[in-house]
Amino acid sequence: MWRAICAHSSRSFDLFLGIFGSLALAVASLGIINTLVMAILERRREIGVLKALGAANRDVRQLFFAEAGVMGLVGRRIRVLLGWGIGRVIQLGTMVYMKRQGLTSPNIWSVPWWLVLGAIGFAVLVSLVSGSIQPHEPRDLIPLKALRYE
């Protein structure tokens, strides 16, 4: 009986975490899309110069696609370092508390290298997918109008 209650509680908690993680992923994707749309709108003049110099629509699209990938890579690296630091502080606090109680402190914090690499890779993937969703503004931009814009 007790085992069935614990298993149900564990599945409910896993479902809650999955829903929470999915919402966080959706919000992050929308944030990246918003950032790229604003970058396109703010750089109309630069896009106009690129197109006037002969850049194709594909070149402009690849530029913003690469920017999205870099945003994901840099952002995730900062978050991984922040998470590692917070975990270390929690481990240190646990060690101090356990020592004051006269107990030996177990290592309660560990992050495997494959999890770090997986998180960074997943963040870059999400950023690239978000970066591929771009408005048609650069494609329809006429260089002369873009250079006059402001």
pLDDT tens, position by position, 89-102 = 988 988 898 888 88
The answer to whether residues 149 and 44 touch, using CB atoms and an 8 Å cutoff, is yes
Angle at 131 between CA 127 and CA 134, to 5 degrees: 155
Quick one: pLDDT band at residue 149, thresholds 50, 70, 90? low
Q: What confidence category does residue 147 fall into, taking pLDDT thresholds of 50, 70 and 90?
A: low
pTM of the model: 0.63
